[in-house]
């Protein structure tokens, strides 16, 4: 049993994780062939089958249209008979029936039946029954509805178990007695089959369409808008059968062609790719074993393998030049990172302006001006009760106070926006003036920097943030603008971490403590936090704890900025969902720095 299990593991490893490139390519080609065969089958089925069904539906629809046309022709034929009777010298019901009709009748102006004539049948009983049924059907006809404003019209009815087309026409002027003439003409399945040149079934008893999908049906509507008969036509499947055979033939041919192409491609890959790669592998092993950078023999191939050999030889000869090029690229990458960091900081500084403008545009007027105008008009009239006057005066005073509060709020928001714009311009100006210089350090009040950035961060659109920070001055020795950018970045990251929890609101608490010559600033949020195991990678370029977040340059730039000001930055968290804390350390401002600032 252990030997069998080991054999199964080795077989599985060879099948699913082959070490040879040839085996991998063979498996890839086999998989590609299978996928190609399935794809060809699906494509042909998706393209050909709907077309076949469309052709089948079109043919069936054409048969149905011809059947409807045949029914219309039967109705028009009986109308022609009634026209001949109405315009002829003798009125229907006189005892003779035309050859192409089964019966005729004369009708009075009020629809009453004056006389009915029916063609001789095998027995007088059958003729009497048909004549009585014809008379009963005519008595129940709504002649104006049948004629529909025309001189003649027709309807289809069932008489004694048979489908009959009945035509009605108005008798020409001057004809005594009858006002209308009617004629009946039977409609048989054999007549329709002869017209359509294919078998037709006429369903009379049920009068409903068949549920058989192999049979198409055309309902015949009677004078009462109900189905009196259904024409059934067998759906021909010649096109579908032929199309399926062609589809199977095309699929089989395509699969066979794919197999042949894959076999040829397998041999070509082995000869043109696998063997040269094996030769290069032997050469690289020789170089590794002996440590001598020997050039690989070039067989002057002009394809990719030859280019690979030449590139390999050139790589060995140009290693020093490549190292120098890497250094140049590193310098360019550093400048690019610096530019991205500046853009990141400018974006953070400008983000409150959009929120302030959006809120200002959407804010409604604080005072209902029409109501205020009416109150002023009443006060100006002078003939109102004292109680009413006091209420109006209180209303006007409240309106003025609301307007004043709105103006004060607008001024506060505009002041915040101006500060954000000034900070963005200062960031750009500092980058232009001191791109290659170490930032100038001076005494800076941490409490003022935190308060300014907290005011700006309150306008964040991603979450509702509550701030708690100390108001007491805490001077540090740093660059005020760079420190403001660092704090702003940390506030933005904290707001995004709070928004990632899905709560829509959260708090950011800031504490400032001094220990000797060092000031420690702790910015704690109740956001999503992070795994403590990744704390060492948070300041790496491009790293982010959130999958949906791109870039990852904010913390990288903040750490470098703190180091340039002789400070440090680290992040702490107790785990996912338990918030995070950013810890900044800076040198405290000495007495000399404070006096210079004063």
Write the DSSP assignment of 132-188 as a string of letters: HHHHHHHHT--HHHHHTTSSEEEEEEEETTEEEEEEEEEPPTT--S-SEEEEEEE--
C-alpha triplet 412, 413, 417: angle, nearest 5°: 120
Q: What is the pLDDT of residues 516-525, one digit of tens each?
A: 899 999 999 9
**Longest distance between any two alpha carbons in the chain, whole Å:** 138
Mean pLDDT of 397-422: 74
User: What does pTM read for this prediction?
Assistant: 0.37
Please tell me the distance from the alpha carbon of residue 530 to that of residue 407, in angstroms, as a whole number: 43
pLDDT score recorded for residue 8: 64
Domain ranges for the chain: 81-236, 318-437, 439-598
Q: Which CATH architecture has domain 439-598?
A: 2-Layer Sandwich (3.30)
pLDDT tens per residue across span 413-457: 777 767 767 766 666 666 645 544 556 788 889 988 888 888 766
14 pLDDT more than 80: no
| Per-residue pLDDT, 201 | 78
Query: Beta-carbon neighbour count of residue 354 at 10 Å?
Result: 13
29: buried, middle or exposed (CB in 10 Å: 19+, 13-18, 0-12)?
Answer: middle
- Which residues does 185 contact at the CB level (< 8 Å), separation at least 6? 74, 77, 78, 81, 100, 101, 102, 164, 165, 166, 167
pLDDT at res. 436:
43
Average pLDDT over residues 36-63: 77
- Residue 549 φ/ψ, nearest 5 degrees: -95, 130
Cβ atoms 441, 591 nearer than 8 A:
no
Predicted local distance difference test score (pLDDT) of residue 512: 93
CB 195 within 8 A of CB 70: yes
State residue 208's pLDDT score: 46
pLDDT tens, residue by residue, 224-271: 788 888 888 777 666 667 777 777 887 787 788 878 887 888 787 777
Per-residue pLDDT averaged across 75-93, rounded? 74
């Amino acid at each position: 049993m252990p030997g069998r299990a080991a054999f199964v593991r080795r077989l599985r490893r060879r099948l699913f994780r082959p070490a040879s490139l040839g085996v991998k390519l063979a498996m890839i080609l086999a998989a590609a062939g299978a996928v190609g065969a399935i794809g060809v089958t699906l494509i042909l089925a998706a393209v050909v089958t709907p077309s076949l069904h469309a052709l089948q539906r079109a043919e069936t629809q054409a048969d149905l249209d011809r059947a409807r046309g045949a029914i219309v022709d039967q109705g028009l034929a009986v109308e022609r008979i009634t026209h001949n009777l109405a315009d002829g010298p003798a009125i229907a019901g006189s005892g003779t029936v035309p050859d192409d009709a089964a019966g005729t009748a004369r009708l009075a102006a009020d629809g009453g039946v004056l006389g009915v004539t029916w063609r001789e049948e095998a027995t007088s009983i059958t003729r009497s029954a048909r004549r009585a049924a014809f008379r009963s059907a005519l008595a129940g006809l709504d002649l104006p509805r049948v004629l529909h404003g025309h001189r003649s019209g027709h309807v289809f009815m069932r008489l004694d178990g048979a489908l009959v087309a009945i035509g009605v026409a108005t008798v020409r002027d001057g004809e005594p007695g009858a006002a209308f003439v009617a004629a009946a003409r039977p409609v048989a399945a054999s007549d329709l089959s002869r017209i359509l040149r294919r078998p037709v079934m006429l369903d009379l008893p049920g009068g409903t369409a068949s549920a058989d999908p192999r049979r198409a049906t055309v309902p015949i509507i009677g004078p009462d808008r109900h189905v009196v008969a259904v024409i059934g036509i067998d759906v021909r499947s010649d096109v579908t059968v032929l199309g399926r055979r062609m589809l199977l033939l095309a699929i089989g041919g395509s699969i066979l062609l794919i197999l042949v192409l894959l076999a040829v491609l397998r041999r070509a890959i082995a000869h043109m790719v696998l063997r040269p790669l094996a030769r290069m592998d032997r050469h690289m092993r020789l170089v590794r074993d002996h440590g001598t950078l020997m050039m690989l023999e070039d067989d002057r191939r002009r394809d990719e393998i030859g280019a690979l050999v030449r590139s390999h030889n050139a790589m060995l000869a140009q290693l020093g030049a490549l190292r120098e090029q890497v250094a140049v690229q590193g310098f360019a990458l550093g400048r690019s990172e610096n530019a991205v960091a500046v853009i990141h900081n400018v974006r953070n500084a400008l983000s409150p302006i959009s929120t302030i403008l959006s809120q200002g545009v959407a804010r409604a007027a604080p005072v209902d001006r029409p109501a205020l105008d009416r109150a002023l008009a009443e006060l100006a009239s002078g003939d109102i009760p004292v109680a009413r006057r006091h209420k109006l005066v209180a209303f006007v005073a409240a309106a003025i106070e609301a307007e004043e509060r709105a103006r004060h709020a607008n001024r506060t928001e505009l002041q915040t926006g101006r500060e954000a714009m000034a900070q963005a311009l200062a960031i750009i100006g500092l980058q232009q003036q001191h791109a290659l210089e170490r930032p100038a350090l001076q005494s800076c009040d941490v409490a003022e920097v935190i308060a300014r950035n907290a005011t700006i961060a309150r306008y964040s659109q991603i979450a509702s943030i509550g701030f708690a920070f100390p108001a007491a001055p805490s001077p540090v020795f740093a660059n005020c603008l760079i420190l403001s950018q660092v704090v702003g970045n940390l506030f933005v990251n904290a707001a995004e971490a709070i928004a990632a929890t899905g709560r829509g609101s959260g708090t950011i608490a800031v504490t400032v403590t001094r220990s000797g010559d060092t000031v420690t600033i702790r910015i704690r949020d109740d956001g999503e936090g992070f795994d403590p195991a990744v704390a060492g990678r948070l300041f790496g370029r491009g790293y982010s704890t959130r999958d949906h977040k791109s870039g990852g340059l904010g913390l990288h730039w903040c750490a470098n900025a703190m180091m340039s000001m002789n400070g440090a930055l680290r992040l702490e968290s107790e785990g996912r969902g338990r918030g995070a804390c950013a810890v900044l350390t800076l040198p405290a401002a000495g007495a000399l720095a404070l006096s210079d600032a004063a």
